[in-house]
Chain A
Amino acid sequence: MKSKEQQEAEFQSFTAAHRTMLRRQAFLLCGDWYQADDLVQTSLVKLFAAWKRIEPGGAGAYARRVVINVFLSHRRLAWVRRERLSGETPLRSVDAPQLSVDARLDVIGSLELLPPRQRATVVLRFCEDLSVEETAAVLGCSTGTVKSQTAKGLRKLREVLQRTDVTVSTDH
């Protein structure tokens, strides 16, 4: 069994390597940087609480799953806080030449219009590039559910984006 010092050192090392990835995932899920920080912090607490039970090498996937679970279980409170803090949300920093800044904000922002499980599914599938099977494993549901949630989510996204001016250049 690992000593307390070993566990803490491993956890610190893991956090240093994955903190940015987790914050990014959390932001894509909730659409708010403050909320994202809350999600990451809560998830890391849960992750550390379970650290001694986590398989070596599996911490990344486990952390991703914890962030999703925390997001889904706290979405109501998140909604309340987002309502209050919307005026204070810092500007999102984006940089992709092939998309205008407004367009990228529209795309990311449109995720917020999806119900939480659809949003989580779409984020895992297309922003995290997970397969249907991997997404099902993270969400703890069947592959059929992933497919139906993906289809519903994309349909809604298309409806939203159709109403905007977003265009994508194919030049890279």
Chain B
Amino acid sequence: MTPHDDAPELLRRASAALEVDDPDLDLDAIMRRGYRERRRRSTVLGSAATAGVAAVAAVLALSLAGPPQTEQDPGPADDGDGDGAPVDAETSGYPYVLEGFGTDAERAQLNDAAVAAFGGLLEYAGVVAPDVEPDFDFQPVQEPGNYGQTWLRLYESQIWPEDGQTPDDAVLRVEAFLPGGWTAEPGPVTEQLFPRHLISASGWPWYTEADWTDELTTAELDDGRIVHSANHECAYESAVVFPNGAGLLVSWDMGCHEPSPQYQIPEEDFAAAVESMSAPDFDTTGLAPVGDLIEVPTGWLWDPGWPAGAADDASATMTAAHSALTELYLGATLDDGSALQLGGLEHNSVATRVYKGEGEYETPYADVSFELVYYLPGGWIPGIAGSGGEGPYPEACGEAFSCTQETNDDGTVWAVATGPETELPQQVRVVRFDPAGWAVAVRASSDEPIDAEALTEIAASMPAPVYDAAAVPQVPTD
């Protein structure tokens, strides 16, 4: 019999015949590392649950700026334990900054480096006209790490051909990552993971079912740079990790969405261009260790097809909610609502799935307009974030709002955010986090004072949303 006739049997015999010595294991060290891993994964939420405290009345007094702000980072970051040790960048990140980050000087430096590295290639491929200098126009982007517990910082640029109109038409995409929140190790590129991976073997977004594992190669250059490259046949992709901790992700799409390649270039020319781009020198002020990671249920990846597919469930939910509402306020209105995704609009972005409707009810004193928002499970934990959206919570405390939170005996968490009474219209939000994993928020505004108790009553009367509770988010494996 030949092996090609019965490869499974051959494998069985060969593996059964394999003699294996006991591995030399240091169990004490393994358990020490295991305990460290446990501490790393220990959760604020878990602690509260384990304590089994009934009627926890944790009141958050979130100020205007949310959680306490730290002073500007004084010089080189250390890991916070006072020993001056450098920050472990992979498990560190930045605070979210409402006004954005970065300087014109940083952007100019990146633009010059990108023009020098890729200008010739863009001209050669016909993406830009001869003697026209491409404008990379790098934009600062903040992306959530561990569902908003911390933030990654990067600059992003895309170069389209003259007739390019949609994101798919972009030929060259350059992302320059500041140190923090990502790992040099290739793996699934998804916001669901922290630290994040820069490059994967999957071929996303050009392919959905590809296994490019064999095509992903790694090289260490003489100057210490590590370069991971993947040839996706109609596109090239490279991630460069610089010795200074910065990262670069570059892709060149030759026309994956076209019948034939339009902007074809040799792979070695792409590699040479990528390797010629100099190391960005970033200001990492604010980079700080994340500390104990808050455990957050896996979030959903943005799915352009989901809103349409969930429209009927959203409508059914709002119909049931309207029925409950009219029990409290005869004549109250609530529209059919819609299914929305809150978050980034890219294939690897995490998005919170919500049903949102708008309505109005009448009190003896005023007409109150409100939004009804159902948060479906995935990618958040009960609670209310600071005004900048800090933390893995679905609702944020508004600027100048006062926010409180408490937990009932049955595990229902209530959060109330009240806007300043001096501002009209007054705004009040009440969020009910159901122990089943979903939440419903009533966000009301009126020119007359709003009774938060009335909103609480509405939220308490709302039925569970209609959704497929058996469907759970998956983390890509490639």
Contact = CB atoms under 8 A, between A and B. Distances in A.
A168 B9 contact: yes
B10 interface: yes
Given A20-B22, A76-B185, A154-B7, A45 B37 contact: yes
B11 interface: yes
A11 B31 CA distance: 9
A168 B6 contact: yes
B14 A94 contact: yes
A50 B317 CA distance: 38
B98 interface: no
> Nearest 3 pairs between A and B by C-beta?
A96-B17, A48-B34, A49-B37
B252 to A, nearest CB: 21
A23 B20 contact: yes
B185 A127 contact: no
Q: Which of B21, B27, B34, B218 has the most CB of A within 10 A?
A: B34
Contact of A49 (B6, B25, B38): B38
Interface of A: 8, 11-12, 15, 19-20, 22-24, 27-28, 36-37, 40-41, 44-49, 51, 72-77, 79-80, 92-96, 98-99, 103-104, 107-108, 111, 115-118, 122-123, 125-127, 129, 140-141, 154, 157-159, 161-162, 164, 166-168, 170
Interface in B13-45: 13-25, 27, 30-31, 33-35, 37-38, 41
A168 B34 CA distance: 44
Given A96-B17, A168-B3, A8 B8 contact: no
Given A15-B25, A19-B23, A122-B11, A104 B17 contact: yes
B6 A126 contact: no
A158 B13 CA distance: 16
A141 B20 CA distance: 29
A167 B2 contact: yes
Nearest to B15: A127
A159 B213 CA distance: 19
A104 B218 CA distance: 30
B214 interface: yes
Contact of A77 (B15, B22, B24, B185): B185
B18 A41 contact: no
Contacts of A11: 27, 31
Contacts of B228: 76
Contact of A80 (B8, B19, B218): B218
10 contacts: A15-B25, A20-B21, A28-B18, A44-B30, A72-B477, A76-B216, A94-B14, A127-B15, A166-B2, A168-B2
B4 A45 contact: no
Contact of A115 (B13, B24, B211): B211
Contacts of B18: 24, 27-28, 92-94, 104, 108
B1 interface: yes
A41 B30 contact: yes
B10 A161 contact: yes
Nearest to A1: B50
Contact of A74 (B27, B185, B211): B185
A26 B472 CA distance: 29
Given A44-B30, A117-B477, A168-B6, 19 more contacts: A15-B27, A20-B20, A22-B23, A41-B25, A48-B33, A48-B37, A76-B216, A76-B228, A93-B18, A93-B21, A99-B13, A107-B10, A115-B211, A117-B213, A118-B211, A158-B3, A158-B7, A161-B10, A167-B3
Main secondary structure, interface of B, reads mixed
Contacts, number: 158
Interface string B168-205: 00000000000000000111000000000000010000
B12 A129 contact: yes
Interface residues of B, number: 46
Given A108-B15, A161-B4, A168-B9, A79 B218 contact: yes
Given A76-B185, A107-B10, A167-B2, A93 B477 contact: no
A17 to B, nearest CB: 11
Nearest to B14: A107
Contact of B14 (A108, A115, A117): A108
A115 B114 CA distance: 34
Given A15-B25, A92-B18, A48 B3 contact: no
Contact of A107 (B3, B21, B23, B186): B3
Contacts of A19: 22-23, 25
A46 B37 CA distance: 7
Nearest to B2: A167
Nearest to B193: A73
Interface in B196-232: 201, 211, 213-214, 216, 218, 220, 228
B165 to A, nearest CB: 36
Contacts of B216: 76
Contacts of A77: 185
B478 to A, nearest CB: 8
B34 A51 contact: yes
Given A76-B185, A127-B11, A162-B4, A37 B24 contact: yes
Contact of B12 (A22, A103, A127): A127
Contact of A117 (B22, B211, B220): B211
B8 A98 contact: no
Contacts of B213: 75, 115-117
A108 B14 CA distance: 7
A12 B478 CA distance: 33
B25 A76 contact: no
Contacts of A36: 23
A141 B16 CA distance: 26
Contacts of B2: 161-162, 166-168
